[in-house]
């Protein structure tokens, strides 16, 4: 699994100009599922993202996690995170999982985040979406469950 995690003061996602998910302070997570991703990858990503210490403490140091600040999360499916641009001009998405694997993993990720007490919103899997955010910092991180990344 791959994720782009952005610390935000607010974010929302729209489908056909209708808001389908909206959060205040927290993380916007663009989440991609790769071929062969497992429950172990999913748990790794949930644990890593929820416990990233990128929110400022009273001394202004990035020392607090999303859980510590009781932040929210907006999760948007993003298969293009598996786009391979090394050859030619059109990205290859051959390493991205098909929807039959990716959609259940995406929904499971959202459910697991909610199970751990975080208010979580999501986009619509497979839809054309417009994502709006106010990146706080800016803080943007790339995370990959594949250890050789």
Full-model pTM: 0.95
Which is catalytic among the residues 79, 93, 132, 140?
79
Share of the chain above pLDDT 90, in %: 97
For residue 149, being part of any structural domain is answered with: no
Question: Residue 44 belongs to a domain with what CATH number?
Answer: 3.50.80.10
Closest to 110 measured CA to CA, from 31, 8, 54, 53: 31
For residue 139, being part of any structural domain is answered with: yes
pLDDT tens sequence across 8-51: 999 999 999 999 999 999 999 999 999 999 999 999 999 999 99
Task: Decide if 79 is catalytic.
Answer: yes
Contacts of 147 (CB under 8 A, 6+ apart): none
Which is catalytic among the residues 6, 27, 78, 109?
78
Closest to 66 measured CA to CA, from 113, 19, 110, 32: 113
Q: Please tell me whether residue 65 adopts helix, strand or coil conformation.
A: coil
Task: Decide if 132 is catalytic.
Answer: no
Domain span at 32: 2-144
Task: Decide if 140 is catalytic.
Answer: no
Domain count, the chain: 1
For residue 10, being part of any structural domain is answered with: yes
Q: Is the pLDDT of residue 148 over 70?
A: no
For residue 120, being part of any structural domain is answered with: yes
């Amino acid at each position: 699994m791959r994720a782009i995690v952005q610390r935000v003061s607010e974010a929302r996602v729209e489908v056909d100009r209708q808001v389908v998910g909206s959060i205040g302070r927290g993380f916007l997570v663009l989440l991609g599922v790769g071929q062969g991703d497992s429950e172990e990858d999913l748990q790794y990503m949930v644990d890593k993202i929820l416990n990233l210490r990128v929110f400022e403490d009273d001394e202004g140091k990035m020392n607090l996690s999303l859980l510590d600040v009781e932040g929210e999360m907006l999760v948007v499916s993003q298969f293009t995170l598996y786009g391979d641009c090394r050859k030619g001009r059109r990205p290859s998405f051959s390493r991205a999982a098909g929807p039959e694997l990716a959609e259940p993993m995406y929904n499971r990720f959202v459910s697991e985040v909610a199970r751990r007490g975080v208010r979580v919103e999501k986009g619509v899997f497979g839809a054309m979406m417009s994502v709006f955010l106010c990146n706080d910092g800016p803080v943007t991180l790339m995370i990959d469950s594949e250890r050789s990344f």
